[in-house]
């Protein structure tokens, strides 16, 4: 019963599960099409909640460093495209927010629970997980894992 609570993120070194989700504009994002780039996935519980807002704003505020390391960033949670569009616009996020209806991708990445478990992944250019941590790790720590 408490297995979801105790689950750990996928370990570094394993291939990242492929997925396809739509962003807040309805554009499809497929992980496998991003091979050759570093990809950050930020699984977060809710748009416009204080910790989530701070976490995503930190990625926005480090955007030039992320761009310099060829890092694509995506926020991921099950809220609607409309909610994501408002959240992204209000805080000027330079990266898309993906709609994970039913939390299937959260499940693939061990971030599914009663609510989405705040989890950050960095997937390397080779499609393997290079960084995985629950909570709100500093952007610099995530960036240090980029190839």
Task: Report residue 115: phi and psi, to 5°.
Answer: -125, 170
**Catalytic option among 16, 39, 41, 52:** 52
Can 52 be counted among the known catalytic residues?
yes
DSSP the chain: --HHHH--PPPTTSBPPP-EEEETTS-EEEGGGGTTSEEEEEE-S-TT-HHHHHHHHHHHHTHHHHHHTTEEEEEEESS-HHHHHHHHHHHT-SS-EEE-GGGHHHHHTT--SSS---EEEEE-TTSBEEEEEES---HHHHHHT--
Q: Does an H or E element contain 38, and which? A: strand 38-43
Residues with catalytic function: 52
């Amino acid at each position: 019963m408490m297995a979801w609570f105790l689950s750990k993120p996928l370990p570094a070194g394993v291939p990242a599960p492929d997925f396809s989700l739509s962003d807040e504009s309805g554009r499809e994002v497929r992980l496998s099409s991003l091979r050759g780039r570093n990809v950050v996935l930020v699984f977060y519980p809710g748009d416009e909640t204080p910790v989530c807002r701070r976490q995503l704003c930190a990625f926005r505020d480090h955007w030039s460093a992320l761009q310099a390391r060829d890092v694509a960033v995506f926020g991921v949670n099950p809220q609607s495209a409309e909610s994501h569009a408002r959240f992204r616009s209000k805080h000027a996020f330079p990266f898309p927010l993906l709609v994970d209806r039913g939390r299937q991708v959260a499940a693939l990445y061990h971030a599914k629970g009663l609510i989405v478990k705040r989890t950050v992944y960095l997937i390397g250019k080779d499609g393997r997980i290079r960084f995985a941590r629950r909570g709100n790790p500093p952007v610099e720590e995530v960036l240090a894992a980029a190839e």
